Chains A and B, each alone.
Chain A
Amino acid sequence: AQSVAQPEDQVNVAEGNPLTVKCTYSVSGNPYLFWYVQYPNRGLQFLLKYITGDNLVKGSYGFEAEFNKSQTSFHLKKPSALVSDSALYFCAVRAEGGNQFYFGTGTSLTVIP
């Protein structure tokens, strides 16, 4: 079975500090991994993806994520958090050759001024 786990429902970080939002996955074969952000009363917006190649991928708004195959993880990171980063973050996976997406339960990030 394919799945995504986001072990933290809530992450709080002070403005200017680095942030990490965790994601682990389970998929048959090679994974295609994604991070999306959801602001209140809005749809999801794409942040970044890992398909192949460099394990560190960079995305929108200064976010990056590191793919770790041995730990089946794809943690989202940002060196310096902004108050405007406060939102709900979703990790998603699709298996190579598959057409179905699996999303995590979401992590609510609050950046404290």
Chain B
Amino acid sequence: EAQVTQNPRYLITVTGKKLTVTCSQNMNHEYMSWYRQDPGLGLRQIYYSMNVEVTDKGDVPEGYKVSRKEKRNFPLILESPSPNQTSLYFCASAARGVSYEQYFGPGTRLTVT
């Protein structure tokens, strides 16, 4: 089954404790992206990757890091999480082409206390 998986689905952590949210896709997609969803703000793009070793900032990259060492994986790293990073995070992937129709993962709900 074609899918995007994220782990963990739920995470509660404390300020400053480094964490990684994993994202993996099995569709051989070149394009991968991370979003955060906040009430009243919709989805905002954090980082995206056009292919292995190619990443670029989205609208809200501050406080986040990403890496794309393999085509299928695109982890999101919070080196020193803060309470304002409490949010619902989505990973997405798409085949490169004209449309970039994105497939989304199930989401990771992160709480930073």
Contacts and interface: CB of A to CB of B under 8 A. Distances in A.
B102 interface: yes
A6 B40 CA distance: 11
B31 A43 contact: no
Interface residues of A, number: 23
A90 interface: yes
Given A32-B99, A90-B42, A99 B105 contact: no
A106 to B, nearest CB: 5
Given A43-B90, A90-B42, A90-B43, A103 B35 contact: yes
B99 A49 contact: yes
Nearest to A50: B99
A56 B102 CA distance: 21
Nearest to A32: B99
A110 to B, nearest CB: 17
Contact of B45 (A41, A43, A101): A101
Contacts of B104: 36, 43-45
Nearest to A2: B59
Interface in A88-110: 90, 92, 94, 99-106
Contact of A100 (B41, B58, B103, B106): B58
Contacts of B98: 32, 51
A44 B4 CA distance: 11
A34 interface: yes
Most chain A C-beta atoms within 10 Å of own C-beta, residue among B31, B42, B56: B42
Given A34-B102, A44-B92, 17 more contacts: A32-B99, A36-B102, A36-B104, A42-B106, A43-B104, A43-B106, A44-B104, A46-B101, A49-B101, A90-B43, A94-B100, A100-B45, A100-B56, A101-B45, A102-B45, A105-B42, A106-B42
Interface of B: 4, 31, 33, 35, 40-45, 48, 50, 56, 58-59, 90, 92, 98-107
